[in-house]
Structure 1
Amino acid sequence: MTMIEGHGGELALAALRAYGVTEMFTLSGGHVFPLYDAAHKAGFPIYDVRHEQSAVFAAEAVAKLRRTPGLAVLTAGPGVTNGVSGLTSAFFNGSPVLVLGGRAPSFRWGSGSLQEIDHVPIVAPVTKHAATVASAPEIPAAIGAALSAALTPHRGPAFLDLPLEVVFSVASAEISPASVPRGEADADEVSRAVALLAGAEKPVIIAGSDVWAGDAVDALRAAAEALDVPVFTNGMGRGALPPGHRLAFSKARRAALKGADVVAVIGTPLDFRLGFGDFGAATVVHVVDAPSQRATHVTPAASPAGDLRAILTAFADHAGARTPHDDWVRGLRETEDAAGAKHAAEMTAESDPIKPGRVYGELRKVLEPDAITIGDGGDFVSYAGRYLEPARPGTWLDPGPYGCLGTGMGYAMGARVSYPDRQICVLMGDGAAGFSLMDAESLVRQNLPVVIVVGNNGIWGLEKHPMRAMYGYDVAADLQPELRYDDIVRALGGAGETVAKAGDLGPALERAFAAGVPYLVNVLTDPADAYPRSSNLA
């Protein structure tokens, strides 16, 4: 332990650094000035935004990409409530984000101080840990407890309130080293799970974001290869097996789930994205990083809960009998290749207006293998999941199962701060652009170049097409057609252009990635084109 003396901001910063926090995202507010003072004097980077939700989303991007805590500092009252959507997304995504909130002074509580509201009951349902710090000497221990909770699987956000008189006070306190417990899975449950996979004739693995978060990507690959099981991925699990790997699949999932006799879902919930775990006659194995993540609406035949890397290593080391799967893998590969040929045709199609598939066909030509790709939208981003295949794990960011739009600019900031030398590409629907595009100014001002590709079809496609199918009409689903979102970014100090012809896409994207400033490519896409959605959302 280390004893230090300072005001509340200095005590907080020392505790944050012990857990590997390296920057803060914020929107300026007087309630949290001591945190800024501590950071400024220590050379600790501060990145500020135009809306608090972007600060939390930026912190979440850091947490997702680097697998270390992300920090957002929000002023009292509306500063905190503006960040609730970001907290909720982090909660659903299992992202270790810490939000430090300013708070009206306790000694005047009830007198009507500026922005006086009790935040904790508001954020408690969407955090793993939420508390108010009572005194300055308690700040380091409170931050340690919050970050330990955030980092303990199943990971998630934490919140601490710092009342005005607490954070401005000077005190002495001990700074303890980071402590994060890891859970151990029941060995018998692990044995049951791997025996089911090894003995299946037509097994399938579906791996999700927690495989990345738990640093279990290499163990997943070793397990899949040892047991010879086809792998499909979602979320940040995408790219865990590189495209071209014999066991990596993305386009044959329907055929795989229809024919499988054992489905092992690893590190992702059995939610609407996976048909709520209804895989027909297949036996279900659900491998999770904590008992709290076990499905309650289905009864898996086995459900190991604990350190995913250790569980998957045990899968790879299985010494029992193993059924060969060559014919099963070969059949799925034929289905995969047929779908791939269809997608290739869609990604090169000449059409007027432009189809989303062509946008992604051109993007595939310019994206580098380690590019960070960010999805913020409905139909347009659904197509990104269909056509883009991350070459490496930990390079794909989307809003996750909560489905909150507006993540784009915050995620872009967190990604650029995390990886100064990589391509950062935000894929944004024109509806999603309305939530956060003003934060392009934050990127410009702080010299954080990113490429923003807007699929501009002038509608809320995720709502318009289904509503017309249900009712024969639609309401509240239209946007102004052909808006110049590139002009907005240009007015904010960046650059951009509008593309209306498919043949102009490639050169526009090359200019965007070479620009060295936030650059928006505004692509006018076909409003009649509807994503072929088959999943039941509820």
Structure 2
Amino acid sequence: MSSFPLQYPPGRELTGGDLLAQSLKQLGVEVAFGLHGGHLDAFLMGCESIGIRLIDTRHETVAVQAAEGYCRISTKPGVCFVTANSGFSNGLAGLATASADRSPILCITSSPPIRDTENNSLQGSIDQVVTARPLTKFAHRVIAPEECPRIVSHAMRVAQSSPPGPVLLDFPIDVLFSPIHPKLISWGSITSPPTYPPGPHPAAIEEAAQLIRAAKRPVIITGTGAGRLQARESLFKLAETCNIPVFNSSKYAMFHPQSIMLSSGAAGILAKLPLVQLARPDLVILLGARTGMFLGGKSGAIIPNNCTLIQVDCDGSEIGRTLPVKLGIVSDIEAFSSTMYTKLGTAYQGSVDEAWVRSVLNLSSAESPFEKDPAETAGLLHPYHALKSLFSAIEPGSIVVLDGGEAGVWAGDLAPRCQPSTVITSTGYLGFLGNGFGYTLGSAIAAPDRKIVNIQGDGSAGFHMMELDTYKRFNLNVMTVVVNNSVWGMSINGQDLVYGSSNSARPISSLNPETEYDVVAKGLQNAAAKVTRISEIASTVVKFQGQSGPSCINLIVDRKPTHPVTTMMVGLTESPDLVVVPYYDNIPRAYYKL
């Protein structure tokens, strides 16, 4: 019988809430994010007794997304808690992003007593398990307190198994507050070691080796599946042995450890190869990177339509989802990289064009088309020059979280200038705005030794600005930067492209130019400054990153020029046979245009 020694809190009975907390502790949980609700008090007291750190937020969505940010940086499962119905409903947005972005988190919620089911009880209108199932890998209501170890360990294994994703457990309040009968405890596999991840088939390794040896212009593109430190180490051994350049997808970029084969530009830079008269890759190896919006969809802009494609992913259903693959391998990325390196080893003899490799790795060092633009116009900062100055002053090794529309893509181009350890694009596959506040919180708790930079557009900043209060209460080294152009940048610039500059109508795409985000931040006891001159940026960044605790910069920029990504996403065409559908492939016109 697998079990762990129960710890009885002094002066009170051992409850279901205690057993839940102790089960989590046994599974290695050190911290949980959430917002208080009386339904959860027995669990919260259990966490306090057993030494699980509680980080409380100002909104439940942020709590769930903080758990997601924590698991990305720590590589441990993230745990969050939301109270019955109201808190649960607020947390659904976090479950949605975790589901779309394959993040292993456990969400704990509560509900009315079992006897009051379907009784119009307080916070009991929504069946939380039924509601959560489409957004989770596993959702379950625990109806006996003694079942906590078995169900919790099962849920955690489901969250971490391939493909990873969110799980939810609903503990009715009477289950959490009821005393435990020790002889009835169902321990399950609570003390069993974690399972090994899937590895590549030997025949797949053999075929992959042949394709790599034959390639003249190979590249590797990594995604969130290659985020663990061990995976990066084995990956770079393989890349350096085979002389293969490595590009991060714009979804998730990890720069530590460094490698001579790691490009400082995101994979999107490969779309520039025809413009600089360089041949395109003949072999693309996707490692834990999903096809779709972050890799150019079906356009062929990033992954050429005529290249040989090897796709390695822990989820077999992702292989060939968007593009035809020559070789699909279901495997953990570390297992694939280390096995591939062992296969090729020091005896590797390939056909790689070394001059091409050097040219591709130097792509990101080419001068930006905005470099010669004025840094300031009519009292407003050029977004490129403002963010270039900002990132040039940020402490190397920082964790950068990108949020917002155009603000996020301007920042994504320039973030490598600060030599970050990790860059997280928080908008994800659902295009959510405001996630960055939670991801930043989770990152700061997971890596207290690093500076965290929370980049927000003024649109995304409006979602969860109150979390600056959370940053202050825990004295986190977070610098929030609001890139403030007083509009929804991608929206209004997209309208300009579709409807032309002569049409003055721009429905609901403007914000209040008088909003003082620095004043809000000061009211929440963050150090803060409003920056309107290029000459002020570097000194302000150095000052704030050099002090302990949170800070906020209100960076005033122009809404022009339109970022090239916005232009690309709108997909404007002069063809009379196509209807422009912003953000997706254009569609054929159903009738002839007169």
Q: Same fold (TM over 0.5)?
A: yes
User: Matches of 2:560 and 2:389 in 1, distance apart?
Assistant: 21
> Following superposition of structure 1 onto structure 2, how do residues 222-241 of structure 1 map, counting pairs within 5 Å?
222-234=237-249, 235-239=251-255
> Following superposition of structure 1 onto structure 2, how do residues 29-428 of structure 1 map, counting pairs within 5 Å?
29-116=37-124, 117-171=126-180, 172=182, 173=185, 174=187, 175-213=190-228, 215-234=230-249, 235-239=251-255, 242=258, 245-250=260-265, 252-256=269-273, 259-276=280-297, 278=300, 279-319=304-344, 321-333=349-361, 335-337=363-365, 339=366, 341-342=367-368, 345=371, 349-351=375-377, 352-389=379-416, 391=419, 393-394=421-422, 396=424, 398-428=426-456
Q: Deviations over 1:486-515 (max 9, x none)?
A: 111111222211111111111221222234
Shift of 1:439: 1.4
> What residue identity is the alignment partner of 2:271?
R
Shift of 1:443: 1.8
**Corresponding residue SS for 1:102:** strand
Contact kept in structure 2, 1:482 and 1:524, CA below 8 Å: no
User: Matches of 1:343 and 1:393 in 2, distance apart?
Assistant: 27
> What residue identity is the alignment partner of 1:239?
F
| Alignment RMSD | 2.3
Stretch of structure 1 that moved more, 444-453 or 384-393: 384-393
Contact kept in structure 2, 1:370 and 1:395, CA below 8 Å: no
Contact kept in structure 1, 2:398 and 2:422, CA below 8 Å: no
User: Matches of 2:342 and 2:373 in 1, distance apart?
Assistant: 41
Stretch of structure 1 that moved more, 251-260 or 99-108: 251-260
Stretch of structure 1 that moved more, 102-111 or 394-403: 394-403
Contact kept in structure 1, 2:80 and 2:108, CA below 8 Å: yes
> What residue identity is the alignment partner of 2:240?
E
User: Matches of 1:348 and 1:312 in 2, distance apart?
Assistant: 46
**Corresponding residue SS for 2:107:** strand
Shift of 1:21: 1.1
Q: Deviations over 1:442-475 (max 9, x none)?
A: 2222322411111000000111111221123421
User: Matches of 2:436 and 2:473 in 1, distance apart?
Assistant: 17
Change in Cα spacing, 1:177 to 1:318, as seen in structure 2 (3 Å) is closer
Gaps in structure 1 of 5+ consecutive residues: none
Contact kept in structure 2, 1:19 and 1:69, CA below 8 Å: no
**Corresponding residue SS for 2:528:** strand
**Corresponding residue SS for 2:329:** coil
What's the TM-score once normalised by structure 2's chain length? 0.85
Change in Cα spacing, 1:108 to 1:358, as seen in structure 2 (3 Å) is same
User: Matches of 2:490 and 2:140 in 1, distance apart?
Assistant: 38
> What residue identity is the alignment partner of 1:428?
Q
Change in Cα spacing, 1:50 to 1:333, as seen in structure 2 (3 Å) is closer
Q: Deviations over 1:53-111 (max 9, x none)?
A: 11111111110000001111110102111111111111222211110011122111011
> What residue identity is the alignment partner of 1:264?
I
User: Matches of 2:146 and 2:179 in 1, distance apart?
Assistant: 8
Shift of 1:302: 0.4
**Corresponding residue SS for 2:199:** coil
User: Matches of 2:49 and 2:373 in 1, distance apart?
Assistant: 51
What's the TM-score once normalised by structure 1's chain length? 0.94
> What residue identity is the alignment partner of 2:406?
D
Q: Name the % identity.
A: 27
**Corresponding residue SS for 2:286:** strand
User: Matches of 1:43 and 1:241 in 2, distance apart?
Assistant: 32
Contact kept in structure 2, 1:489 and 1:518, CA below 8 Å: no
User: Matches of 2:50 and 2:226 in 1, distance apart?
Assistant: 35
Aligned to 1:446: 474
User: Matches of 1:501 and 1:325 in 2, distance apart?
Assistant: 46
Shift of 1:437: 0.2
> Following superposition of structure 1 onto structure 2, how do residues 463-478 of structure 1 map, counting pairs within 5 Å?
463-472=491-500, 473-478=505-510
Stretch of structure 1 that moved more, 421-430 or 396-405: 396-405
> Following superposition of structure 1 onto structure 2, how do residues 429-440 of structure 1 map, counting pairs within 5 Å?
429-440=457-468
Shift of 1:247: 4.8
Change in Cα spacing, 1:348 to 1:506, as seen in structure 2 (3 Å) is farther
> What residue identity is the alignment partner of 1:154?
P
User: Matches of 1:347 and 1:384 in 2, distance apart?
Assistant: 17
**Corresponding residue SS for 1:250:** strand
Contact kept in structure 1, 2:33 and 2:81, CA below 8 Å: yes
Contact kept in structure 1, 2:375 and 2:386, CA below 8 Å: no
Q: Bigger relative contact order, structure 1 or 2, given CA contacts below 8 A and separation 6+? A: 1
**Corresponding residue SS for 2:454:** strand
Report the structure number with the largest CA radius of gyration.
Answer: 2
Contact kept in structure 2, 1:455 and 1:524, CA below 8 Å: yes
Change in Cα spacing, 1:22 to 1:355, as seen in structure 2 (3 Å) is same
Contact kept in structure 2, 1:247 and 1:329, CA below 8 Å: no
